[in-house]
Amino acid sequence: MNKKKTKQPRPTVAELEHLRVLWERGPSTVREIHESIAGGTGYTTTLKILQKMAEKGLLVRDESQRSHVYDAAIDAEFTQRNLVVDLLKSAFGGKPGKLVIQALSEQRASEQELAEIRSLLDKMEQDLKTKRKQKGKRK
């Protein structure tokens, strides 16, 4: 399925919880989604949230079966990137280092996550060195 990568509505916190289930599980019934979400909401609340999300264009609903099946209509990485950009601008004044420091001081990263972060930092440092060399050659 082609997930939307154009301008999309920003999901609420509750909607993100439902989207995460669908991004991890793939197409699912209301019951499957409801059972995957830890919390005290009732089945009808889950159903109502999913219906509103479909109306907003965040989900698609397959009505061909007795139990309707929902799927994310928006891409996880694209959505997460947009949310991070918004947070970076609004809460951290556009300073990515502050966001990363706050995130890592709040929650421990796994070994794999730390390796990915190191790899990204190494690549960014290499890119900076390359740019400096290119700039030096032009002078």
Q: Mean pLDDT throughout 88-117?
A: 94
Q: Considering only CA atoms, give the Rg of the chain.
A: 20
From residue 15, give the alpha-carbon distance in Å to each of 4, 79, 87, 101: 16, 12, 17, 27
pLDDT for position 1:
46
| CB < 8 Å & 24+ apart, contacts of 74-81 | 74/3, 74/4, 74/8, 74/11, 74/19, 75/3, 75/4, 75/5, 76/19, 76/23, 78/3, 78/5, 78/8, 79/8, 79/11, 79/19
Q: Does the structure show a pLDDT above 60 at 6?
A: no
13-74 belongs to CATH 3.30.950.10: no
pLDDT for position 32:
94
45 touches 84 (CB < 8 A): no
Q: ∠ at Cα 127 (126, 129), nearest 5°?
A: 65
Q: What pTM was computed for the model?
A: 0.75
pLDDT tens digits, 46-67: 999 999 999 999 999 999 888 8
pLDDT for position 139:
63
What percent of the chain is helix, strand and coil (3-state, nearest 5)? 65, 10, 25
Q: Please identify which residue in the block is written with the tokens 């993100």.
A: 16
Q: Is 64 helix (H, G, I), strand (E, B) or coil?
A: coil
Question: Tokens for 121?
Answer: 């930092």
